[in-house]
Structure 1
Amino acid sequence: MKLLKNIISVAMSNIVNFGTSFIIGFILPTILTVGDYGNYRTYTLYLSIVYLFHFGFSDGIYIKYGGLEESDLDHQEVHSEHTFSLIFQLLVFAVMLIISLIRQDIILVLFSIVTFFMTMNTYHQNFLQAIGQFKTYSFGSITKSVVYVLFLLFAVFILKSDNYVLYIALNVLSAVVLFFFFEYHFYKEEGFHFNFDLAGKASLFRVGFLILIANMSLNFVGLIGNWVVKFGFENEVFAQYSFQNSILNVILLVVNAVGMVFYNLLSKNQNKKMIAMIKKMSMLIGIASGLAFFIFKIIIIFFINKYTPAIELLSITFIAIPYIIISKILVANLYKTQRSEKEYIRDSIAYAGLSLAFVSGVSFLTKSVPAIAWATTVCYLMWYLYASHKQFTFMRSNAKEFILIGSHMLVFYICANWLSTSIGLLVYLVYIVAILFALRKELVHIIQQLKVS
């Protein structure tokens, strides 16, 4: 029952985050110019690396306290780590702020400020997840999302502002609200004591940094296209590419909420047949999520048509969703549970490095943004094939799955780009129904097994 409540709490948090991302993803592009939206997305691109600035300390906290209960904690030690994190992040903030002021870049100044609050929020989130306080974790996340949407709506409909700096500042303010919520909860539960001690902190950095590097490498692949376009093309082109990426992230929020249930099954059951079934279900969920593309396409065409160039890019990256899901739900967690840290770090860094070289090479040779999107999609597919055919061979693809992969790429791209929106949606829906019919016996078996689990 407790496990179910935890899953529901986090799922609710994901649903609210989905709503927030949906609102932000479609409101801001309508009120900002393409250039200013590009500036706003530059800030959000910087946010994608903010987790690096705790240098693994928060990941070390997660590893140290994972599986413990509140009653198991040494509260003096917890206070010492919290105080250390505050002081350390203040020092990091000071250095970043000085550099930003020297460069006289308002986006970097705001990024420096939000980095302090977000890294401290990461500390609290990792600590709460580790000791099983999912209710507080989820409530904080929901509060931040709701506050940011209220700020956003106030700025749009009351202030009627088209200043991108204001919307960045509101994002910073929402992180501040979450910080004070977590701090209040921390002192309420742990008491108010100042306890600063350097003992044991180096080991937290050492353990956490290894996890940070591996996770960073995997997350980096999804950002390579953004970085390449940001520094290789005009700001308006970057805005188009970044817009489609923000839409992709909206659908992935929903997918991740579904994926959490499958990860829960995986954490309890290391049976290889069960994992293979979860892989197949994840792929089918990813293929079915392509239906959302047509909804987004209609919204873009009728309400924010200045972003119609992003539609083709979105159709390309949507093809990667099945492999992104499998990578996030299965591959990363299988590495953590069935491979050594050395192997995990080695493979993830190699994956990130090769992907960067490939996408950059494609950009250099073609000077084409759609080609960059295709290159990123290919990277996700190759990582899936490497993991399933080299590292975890019990997930190896058979001839039927290769046909599914190839047909999905072809059918989805044709439906998304060569057919009208309504006809494309209908044809793709028929394609999904045909897949489900062809795999009906396997699906019945999988559902029966999941019920037993």
Structure 2
Amino acid sequence: MDVAKLTSNLKTALIAQGIAFALSLMTSFIVPKLLGITEFGYWQLFLLYSSYVGFFHFGINDGVYLIHGGETREELDNGSIKSQFVLGIAGQSTIAVLIAAYCLLVVPDLDRVFVLIACCIFLIINNAAGFLGFVFQAINETKVFSHSLMLEKCSFLVELVFLVVLQVDVFQLYILGYVLSRFVALGYCLFKARTILSGDFIGIRLALTELFTSIKVGIKLTLSNVASMLIIGFGRFLIEGTWGIDSFGEVSFALSIVNFFIVFMSQLSMVLFPALRQSSKEELEKAFGILANLLNVLLPISFIAYYPICYLLSIWLPQYTQSFIYLAILLPLCIYNTKMDIQGTTYSKVLREEKLLLRTNIISVVSAILLGIIAAVFLRSIEAVVISMLLAVQFRAVFLETHFATKCKCNRSLQTISLLVISYLFIAIALVFGTITGIPLVLVLLAFYYVVNRKSLAEVFAWIKERIATK
């Protein structure tokens, strides 16, 4: 494993996500101040719908990523890549046009029609940029992918600042800005991939064969990703359909607070894949132990942030005080989602266990759907719906962590059990106690956790000390 290149790629990815972090702060804390609950709800509805447009490449992007992972730019078959890119975008454009026509004819709510049409346009742009982004990641040019993200986030940040300064309270303009920023990323990716896309078209029959091969390889991972998103997404659809756009906006606001951290951490997963793909069995086992220790030691610290966040938001956005209840449940969800991205998903791809990942995600999403329906229909409780999301996310993270810990000969059962215990104790403390009593109790809870896991804590400090010494 090339540690120097991994470190360089990680630094670039972290800079990109630093920009994304600043953008997320604005979209999470300033945009809802301007839009109001209903308008913010439609903005969040667009973000929810647009997060599923990746399904419509039907595994092409993931297939190219898995098939060509570990190759260099010189080793790529440019003709095959170009042909799959052209055919894939043509097919997805056709699907987008059909969906848009259906929405115009059938959907009565004009605001919802706008959201859906914008998603159709976003589908084409996003999946084209995503295809090229996966190619860059596969050939370990993650810096190029990170730079495209920087451009995308910076362009949207500029647009957002402009809208905020003018105090624009029309959600449609925010959506247009979001779509335009993704188009900027696509333009950059097309420029950086110009030598790859300059290859000769290989002919329709061979191109279709290559395309269906990529679909066959990648569809399991694509379905896994969609199922993964539906674990949280179905609950949000359920809340919007049962309690309306305002309640959906309140839950989405709480999710937006934790989501930028989840997205930030997922960049580590992106950088790790090509590095781990080139690693030996011994290096994979060692890396898993290090990752498990780092995540289990560092992630619970986020519990301390709950009360300060709630206090500041109660001053800035008092209309969203109901969201603080959901945030208490979503913080543990954030921890387990992060563990899943970095450990479960990454090692599933590296060890080519996409079938296991798909089965795990399907079981999790079915559980989330059943529990969510019970919570919405019988319990009539939004809090119960959010807890159903947490349970499903925890199941898949714990299951895959245990599976790969066994394969990597790395026993982490004490960490797993103790983290589950303090997660639910934190939720209980946050929902029952106010700031004055809650903060000391959370600190005691974390102290107990670190005493129980003192061996892992010592290993983390030793690893950090070793990293510093080698520089």
Structure 1 length-normalised TM = 0.90
**From 257, 275, 281, the counterpart of 1:247:** 257
- Paired residue for 1:379? 392
Q: Aligned AA for 1:444?
A: A
- Measured against aligned partners, the alpha-carbon deviations of 1:103-149 in whole angstroms (never above 9, x if no partner) come to 35111111111111011111111011111222221111001101101
Query: Is 1:69–2:72 an aligned residue pair?
Result: yes
Taking a change above 3 Å as real, the CA distance of residues 163 and 195 of structure 1, as seen in their structure-2 partners, is: farther
- Paired residue for 1:132? 140
Decide whether the 8 Å contact of 2:360 with 2:396 is kept in 1: no
- Measured against aligned partners, the alpha-carbon deviations of 1:65-101 in whole angstroms (never above 9, x if no partner) come to 2111111123333322232233223222222222222
Query: Is 1:80–2:83 an aligned residue pair?
Result: yes
Partner Cα distance (2:413, 2:137) in 1: 38
Query: Is 1:153–2:136 an aligned residue pair?
Result: no
> 1:232: Cα distance to partner?
1.6
Q: Aligned AA for 2:361?
A: S
Query: Is 1:363–2:376 an aligned residue pair?
Result: yes
**From 403, 406, 414, the counterpart of 2:421:** 406
SS at match of 1:45: helix
> 1:418: Cα distance to partner?
3.3
Query: Is 1:309–2:322 an aligned residue pair?
Result: yes
Decide whether the 8 Å contact of 1:43 with 1:168 is kept in 2: yes
Deviates more, 1:433-442 or 1:41-50: 433-442
**From 299, 307, 310, the counterpart of 1:286:** 299
Partner Cα distance (1:55, 1:204) in 2: 9
SS at match of 1:33: helix
Decide whether the 8 Å contact of 1:57 with 1:204 is kept in 2: yes
Decide whether the 8 Å contact of 2:402 with 2:412 is kept in 1: yes
Partner Cα distance (2:66, 2:275) in 1: 21
Partner Cα distance (2:440, 2:432) in 1: 13
**From 3, 6, 10, the counterpart of 2:9:** 6
Decide whether the 8 Å contact of 2:60 with 2:219 is kept in 1: yes
Partner Cα distance (1:403, 1:138) in 2: 35
Taking a change above 3 Å as real, the CA distance of residues 88 and 446 of structure 1, as seen in their structure-2 partners, is: same
Taking a change above 3 Å as real, the CA distance of residues 92 and 365 of structure 1, as seen in their structure-2 partners, is: same
Taking a change above 3 Å as real, the CA distance of residues 128 and 304 of structure 1, as seen in their structure-2 partners, is: same
Q: Aligned AA for 2:92?
A: Q
SS at match of 2:21: helix
Deviates more, 1:234-243 or 1:207-216: 207-216
> 1:389: Cα distance to partner?
5.3
Query: Is 1:209–2:219 an aligned residue pair?
Result: yes
- Measured against aligned partners, the alpha-carbon deviations of 1:359-396 in whole angstroms (never above 9, x if no partner) come to 22222221100111112112222334433556754566
Identity %: 20
Decide whether the 8 Å contact of 1:43 with 1:107 is kept in 2: yes
> 1:309: Cα distance to partner?
0.3
Partner Cα distance (1:396, 1:218) in 2: 26
Partner Cα distance (1:46, 1:120) in 2: 17
SS at match of 1:132: coil
Taking a change above 3 Å as real, the CA distance of residues 190 and 374 of structure 1, as seen in their structure-2 partners, is: closer
**From 67, 92, 104, the counterpart of 1:89:** 92
> 1:234: Cα distance to partner?
1.7
Decide whether the 8 Å contact of 2:70 with 2:274 is kept in 1: no
- Paired residue for 1:354? 367
- Paired residue for 2:311? 298
Provide the alpha-carbon RMSD of the alignment.
Answer: 2.8
TM alignment of 1:247-286, pairs within 5 A: 247-257=257-267, 268=279, 269=282, 272=285, 275-276=288-289, 278-286=291-299
- Paired residue for 1:22? 25
**From 167, 173, 192, the counterpart of 2:174:** 167
Partner Cα distance (1:408, 1:419) in 2: 15
Query: Is 1:226–2:199 an aligned residue pair?
Result: no
> 1:271: Cα distance to partner?
5.7
Partner Cα distance (1:420, 1:224) in 2: 31
Q: Aligned AA for 1:329?
A: I
Deviates more, 1:176-185 or 1:16-25: 176-185
Partner Cα distance (1:419, 1:53) in 2: 45
> 1:408: Cα distance to partner?
3.7
> 1:193: Cα distance to partner?
6.2
Query: Is 1:111–2:119 an aligned residue pair?
Result: yes
Query: Is 1:176–2:189 an aligned residue pair?
Result: no
TM alignment of 1:415-434, pairs within 5 A: 415-421=429-435, 423-434=437-448
Structure 2 length-normalised TM = 0.87
> 1:49: Cα distance to partner?
0.6
Taking a change above 3 Å as real, the CA distance of residues 134 and 392 of structure 1, as seen in their structure-2 partners, is: closer
Partner Cα distance (2:102, 2:30) in 1: 32
SS at match of 1:289: helix
Instruction: Figure out how many residues of one structure are paired with residues of the other and give that number.
Output: 451
**From 320, 331, 337, the counterpart of 2:333:** 320
Deviates more, 1:29-38 or 1:174-183: 174-183
- Measured against aligned partners, the alpha-carbon deviations of 1:26-59 in whole angstroms (never above 9, x if no partner) come to 1111011211111111111101211101111111
Partner Cα distance (2:122, 2:284) in 1: 43
Q: Unaligned stretches of 5+ in structure 2?
A: 108-112
- Paired residue for 1:141? 149
> 1:246: Cα distance to partner?
1.0
Q: Aligned AA for 1:215?
A: N
SS at match of 1:73: coil
Partner Cα distance (2:415, 2:60) in 1: 45
Decide whether the 8 Å contact of 2:149 with 2:185 is kept in 1: yes
Decide whether the 8 Å contact of 1:13 with 1:139 is kept in 2: yes
